[in-house]
């Protein structure tokens, strides 16, 4: 067994392709240090300068009204619920303006599946943001929102994507992937589209020139094999499109929702998954650690397990914080976290171009206004 694991680790560290069975064996049985060392070897070869990137953006939730009622979600309110809200366009533009003022390069517009929001709503939203702030990249919504708007408007997925791309959408967030295999997905989000449908929307978008990221929410009772299956489903699409820029696993937050009693993934499970993801996704460029859900310590450890990106300093985040993620940070903390891991921090844009590399501590940012109200999440 040890020789077999060594062989798989070596092949993966050399950028060879490993099967899902091999990935599962590494996940469950490989020694922790050997797993991390192999993943870090891949990271070093791909990013030999030792740079770890971060992004400044703002996540603006436009409505919490949603008809999909995912059991793990503490954010949504059913239509007509007294605590339901929607922000008007002026408020959304005001928040975009604040983000630009604080140096954000990207906005993530995310929200519930409002029964009245069809393609026209998103066309108006994206075109208004682009008109007012052409410098802001709109990396927003996800396949679930696209399916919802297409259904409300009675148009095809393709036509919906073309319309919102034309209006200003630059790329699609990896939101809503949760767990893609049928069994765990039905258990936590029975009204959401299937994993296959989520991937189909991504594939259509990629073919239309709209790239995206991919996420995974772990810790709601799925098996180890289902975690690997989730990654295989994404890798298969990536083989055909090359449109996923990054893989971003994060841990389910167990408060204030209908899945009480389920455990979160442990830090060790998360770190092992991160390392296996780096070895398995030979065809995905970037691997991001979610320090909002795991905490900064685990986020820093992930930098030694193959991670090259720490996602965003977010200026607003309501969805995951509603479910209990309480980690906070500001830009200076995040940069310090990267530097004290022995890496070089760099601010990036949505396309992973380096905007500012902080080669020495003298180059570090000093703007402590850039902070998350609740902290950062997956910049999906």
Contact positions vs ligand SF4 (CB under 6 A): 66, 68-70, 73, 75-76, 112-113, 144
Q: How far is the CB of 133 from ligand SF4 (least distance, A)?
A: 25
**Token representation of residue 37:** 């060392």
Work out the burial of residue 100: count CB atoms within 10 Å of its CB; fewer than 13 is exposed, 13-18 middle, 19 or more buried: middle
Q: How far is the CB of 164 from ligand SF4 (least distance, A)?
A: 17
Q: Is 151 helix (H, G, I), strand (E, B) or coil?
A: helix
Q: How far is the CB of 315 from ligand SF4 (least distance, A)?
A: 20
Nearer to ligand SF4, 53 or 63 (CB): 63
Nearer to ligand SF4, 50 or 221 (CB): 221
Q: How far is the CB of 326 from ligand SF4 (least distance, A)?
A: 19
Sequence-distant (6+) residues with CB within 8 A of 91 are: none
Nearer to ligand SF4, 192 or 327 (CB): 192
Number of H helices, E strands in the chain: 15, 10
Nearer to ligand SF4, 75 or 280 (CB): 75
Spatial separation of the C-alpha atoms in residues 306 and 278, rounded to whole Å: 6
Nearer to ligand SF4, 210 or 380 (CB): 380
Q: How far is the CB of 142 from ligand SF4 (least distance, A)?
A: 9
**Token representation of residue 93:** 């533009």
Cβ–Cβ under 8 Å, residues 325 and 293: yes
Spatial separation of the C-alpha atoms in residues 330 and 369, rounded to whole Å: 8
Work out the burial of residue 181: count CB atoms within 10 Å of its CB; fewer than 13 is exposed, 13-18 middle, 19 or more buried: buried
Nearer to ligand SF4, 84 or 103 (CB): 84
* Closest residue by Cα to residue 104 from 367, 268, 349: 349
Sequence-distant (6+) residues with CB within 8 A of 134 are: none
Q: How far is the CB of 79 from ligand SF4 (least distance, A)?
A: 11
Backbone angles phi, psi at 190, to 5 degrees: -65, -25
Q: How far is the CB of 75 from ligand SF4 (least distance, A)?
A: 5
Q: Where are the alpha helices (DSSP H) in 103-156?
A: 119-132, 143-153
Each residue of 363-378: b (16+ CB within 10 Å) or e? ebbeeeebbbebbbbb
Q: How far is the CB of 318 from ligand SF4 (least distance, A)?
A: 10
Nearer to ligand SF4, 144 or 253 (CB): 144
Q: How far is the CB of 158 from ligand SF4 (least distance, A)?
A: 22
Nearer to ligand SF4, 70 or 378 (CB): 70
**Token representation of residue 349:** 């844009």
Nearer to ligand SF4, 112 or 174 (CB): 112
Dihedral sign from CA coordinates of 90, 93, 98, 101: negative
Cβ–Cβ under 8 Å, residues 318 and 309: no
């Amino acid at each position: 067994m040890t020789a077999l694991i060594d062989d798989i680790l070596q092949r993966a560290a050399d950028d060879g392709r490993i099967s899902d069975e091999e990935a599962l064996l590494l996940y469950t049985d490989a020694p922790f240090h050997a797993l991390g060392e192999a993943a870090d070897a891949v990271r070093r070869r791909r990013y030999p300068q030792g740079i770890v990137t971060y992004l400044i953006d703002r996540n603006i939730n436009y409505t919490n009204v949603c008809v999909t009622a995912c059991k793990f979600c503490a954010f949504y309110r059913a239509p007509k619920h007294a605590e339901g809200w929607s922000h008007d366009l002026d408020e959304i533009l005001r928040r975009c303006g604040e983000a630009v003022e604080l140096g954000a390069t990207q906005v993530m517009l995310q929200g519930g599946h409002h029964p009245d929001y069809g393609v026209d709503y998103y066309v108006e939203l994206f075109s208004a943001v682009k008109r007012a702030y052409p410098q802001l990249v709109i990396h927003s919504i996800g396949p679930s929102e696209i399916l919802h708007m297409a259904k409300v408007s009675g148009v095809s997925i393709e036509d919906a994507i073309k319309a919102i791309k034309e209006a200003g959408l630059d790329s699609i967030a990896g939101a809503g992937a949760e767990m893609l295999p049928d069994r765990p997905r039905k258990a936590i989000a029975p009204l959401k589209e299937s994993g296959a449908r989520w991937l189909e929307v991504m594939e259509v978008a990629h073919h239309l020139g709209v790239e995206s990221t991919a996420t995974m929410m772990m810790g709601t009772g799925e098996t180890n094999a289902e975690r690997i299956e989730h990654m295989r489903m994404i890798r298969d699409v990536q083989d055909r499109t090359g449109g996923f820029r990054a893989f971003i696993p994060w841990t389910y937050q167990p408060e204030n929702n209908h899945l009480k009693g389920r455990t979160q993934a442990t830090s060790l499970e998360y770190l092992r998954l991160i390392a296996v993801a780096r070895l398995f996704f030979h065809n995905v460029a970037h691997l991001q650690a979610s320090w909002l859900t795991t905490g900064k310590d685990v986020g820093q450890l992930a930098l030694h397990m193959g991670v090259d990106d720490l996602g965003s300093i977010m200026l607003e985040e309501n969805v995951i914080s509603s479910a209990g993620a309480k980690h906070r940070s500001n830009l200076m903390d995040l940069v310090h976290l990267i530097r004290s891991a022995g890496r070089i921090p760099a601010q990036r844009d949505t396309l992973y171009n380096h905007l500012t590399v902080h080669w020495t501590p003298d180059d570090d940012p000093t703007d402590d206004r850039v902070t998350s109200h609740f902290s950062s999440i997956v910049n999906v």
